[in-house]
Amino acid sequence: MVGVVIVLGILGTVAATLVGLHIARRTHVTQNGDNVQVVTPFGKVTTSKNSEDAVRNIGVDIYPGAHALKTDAASVVMGGMKTVSAEFETSDPPGKVFDFYKHRFPHANVTEGDREHYTIVSTDRGSIVTINIESSDSGSHFHIANVIGRADHTANEASD
């Protein structure tokens, strides 16, 4: 019985090693300036400090006068889901930014906040859009993330 357990342990270790090697051989990391792309058998992850790319691909109107920050812009494709996110700043107060997005997403699942922090979560356009708005020294800082499902993802790729 002990011998069977040892043999199964060895076979399990060999199988895990072979699977790990298979994944490692098919994982590729490329960097081009501020852009990093990791391609795995499970999907593709792209991060970038190029906020213009994120703004183009985010699929949500950007608050007028807001500018995208060069940090934390990302596009992730995994398992048929695409997530695009970016951070923005504006000199306007958070309540004004909240009102802008509240009108853009009138059927949002979540619209809540106080004078310093607001959150909007919407699933009414075939994707999950999350907008977090908070007060900053210069006005408002807000983050937008859009998770797009398989059907919308393939349609968006075909149009790109």
Helix (H) or strand (E) holding 77: strand 73-78
Q: Tokens 């000199």 appear where?
A: 91
| Residue written as token pair 């995994």 | 78
Residue with tokens 């400090």: 49
Residue with the larger pLDDT of the pair 49 and 116: 116
Q: Is residue 129 within 8 Å of residue 121, measured between CB atoms?
A: yes
Give tens-digit pLDDT for 11-45. Answer: 999 999 998 888 888 888 888 876 777 888 877 77
pTM of the complete model = 0.68
CA 115 to mean position of chain CA atoms: 26
* Pairwise CA distance, residues 160 & 157, whole Å: 5
Task: Retrieve residue 112's tokens.
Answer: 């809540």
Which residues are registered as beta bridge partners of 134? 117, 141
pLDDT in tens, 49-99: 666 777 777 888 899 988 888 776 777 777 677 888 889 999 999 999 999
pLDDT at residue 50 in the model: 65
